[in-house]
Chains A and B, each alone.
Chain A
Amino acid sequence: MNEDLGLPISHWRRLWLYAFGGLVLLFLIAPSLIIVPMSFSGSTLLQFPPQEWSLRWYEAYFQSVEWRDATIVSLKAAILTTIVATPIGVAAAYALNSRMLRMSGFINALMTASLIVPVILVGIGTFFIYARVGLNNTMTGLVLAHTVQALPLVMLTVLSGFRSYDMNQERVARSLGAGRFAAFWQVTVPQIRFSIVSGALFAFITSFDEVVVSFFISGGEVTTLTRRMFNALRDQIDPTIAAISTCLIVLSVVLLSMAQLFGRRR
């Protein structure tokens, strides 16, 4: 858009802006940049740069049954959340994209409510309602709660995919005799598939990184990685968490680049 503003302000006169902006960018990225090498430290004191290198904290992570179980719970919840939230979110986006739906403003507001309601209230409320139906500390409960958190992200991502798609193509397919679902599946989905994949990736990471709701509703056999990390951090600074954090950072980088890649091809 404004590839070059062409304003008579030289880069030199803006040097302070670039310097300040660069420092802020550094502030944003520094914690991730520092924690990764620290996780390879050989000593119990986390040093940067480490005096001696070792994989002992990664060994501690992978050999601990508790951490391993928590990781499996988190992965399972994230995969199931993606599987549940993606079709529901796509269906809602499809409906909201159409001008035929009445009360679409109201429905949109409801679907995105979990972005607006303070997450602590969602956590306490979910715990409260789950206590009555026995869903606390269950995988079903965890997946349902995470689905509600992921739903608006899937829906908004797919909605933005729909915006660059001409719905008339689906109408043409239907007028030529294709059934409603066939027209959607064979004509529309292939053209918005990149935003669907992006939405699914966002759903996965939303579930995997979610802390507050999991803090309230997960426990026992179904303790998520984030809940276990949160509790561990309340007590002391365990270097094992540096190794776990590094794995989580790598996961974010991978998922984000995938989403970016798919986003660009849209």
Chain B
Amino acid sequence: MTTLADTEGHLRGANADVLKADARRESLALLALCSPGLLLVGVIIVLPIGWLFWLSFFDENGMLSGSNYARFVEQSSYIRTFVTTFKVAFTVTGLCVLLGYPLAYMLSQLRQRIASVCLIFVILPFWTSVLVRTYAWLVILQRKGLVNTWLMNLGVIDQPLSLANNFTGVIIGMTHIMLPFLVLPLYASMKAIDSDYLRAGMNLGASPSATFRQIFFPLSLPGLASGVVIVFVLCLGFFVTPALMGGGKVIMWAMRMEQTTSLYSNWGAGSALGVILLAVTLGLLALLQRLFGARATGVWSAR
């Protein structure tokens, strides 16, 4: 008896070893499947960013120093860039919430078929080139553009408004481009809210507005938070629209990085700007995850 049990135990042990070896081999095979992608990302994203990170700690003479970072608090031009960037990012994010929340709410309440038709209006611009949309806004908002022509023909204004090549133009163009990034995750999270909760609330005597305030709105917060963070983070690093709609007057973070690296070939300073931008981005995403859990950050992939 004992010998048999021993053999059985031994066999089970041997079997477990084989299984473990199998699992290891399987895991390695799967890792090999990922390797081309990982290699590309490693060489094109991780390696240069690591290199630039390293560079940012050296000054022009190749000496280890914090001078690249010190200039951000010393030079007023950098301070101005940061102030502009955050001003734009806050304004655009705020506008996106004001426009996007009611839209997402409406979409979530419509019948599925009508909602899918309306969603095309959100998804189509989302997949249209940022350049095309920026160009369209330039044409619409310029001095002799659509808005000014129409307003002057209607007699609302005598002088054309300056809507493009300034702060206003940047805000309008960026809000248009960022809006789907807020609406899509928000809509997804609103769709996931169980309407039984709302019905229960109303059956218990809550008014429609109380139901919205006390049940629907809190449940939509994770979706709203992830939309807000996505939009804010994208605004901070946005390049195309501010460069084209700002008329050289609105210098944002990304344009500053482009100028320092390609115009002045100051890789240390440009890298330092990039390092801070990346740190702020990752920090905000980590904060989002901390506050609302993995589901909220997962919506990032709504794109």
Contact = CB atoms under 8 A, between A and B. Distances in A.
Interface of A: 1-9, 13-14, 17-18, 20-21, 24-25, 27-32, 34-35, 38, 45-48, 88-89, 91-92, 94-96, 98, 100-102, 107, 110-129, 144-145, 147-148, 151-153, 155-156, 205, 208-209, 211-212, 215-216, 226, 229-230, 233-234, 237, 241-242, 245, 248-249, 252-253, 255-256
Given A18-B106, A255-B127, 6 more contacts: A4-B111, A32-B136, A35-B139, A120-B237, A241-B135, A256-B127
B45 A148 contact: yes
B199 to A, nearest CB: 7
A31 B125 contact: yes
Main secondary structure of the interface of A (DSSP, over half): helix
B23 A112 contact: no
A45 B176 CA distance: 24
B258 A124 contact: yes
Interface of B: 23, 26-27, 30-31, 33-34, 36-38, 40-49, 51-52, 99-100, 102-103, 105-107, 109, 111-112, 118, 121-125, 127-140, 142, 144, 146, 149, 176, 179-180, 191, 195, 198-199, 202, 208, 211, 233, 236-237, 239-240, 243-244, 253-254, 257-258, 261-262, 267, 270, 274, 277-278, 281-282, 285, 300-301, 303
Given A5-B109, A35-B132, A252-B127, A121 B34 contact: no
A48 B301 CA distance: 37
Contacts, number: 271
3 cross-chain pairs, A with B, having the tightest CB-CB distances, nearest first: A118-B237, A125-B48, A31-B136
B142 A107 contact: no
Nearest to A153: B303
A101 B267 contact: no
A124 B52 contact: yes
B258 A120 contact: yes
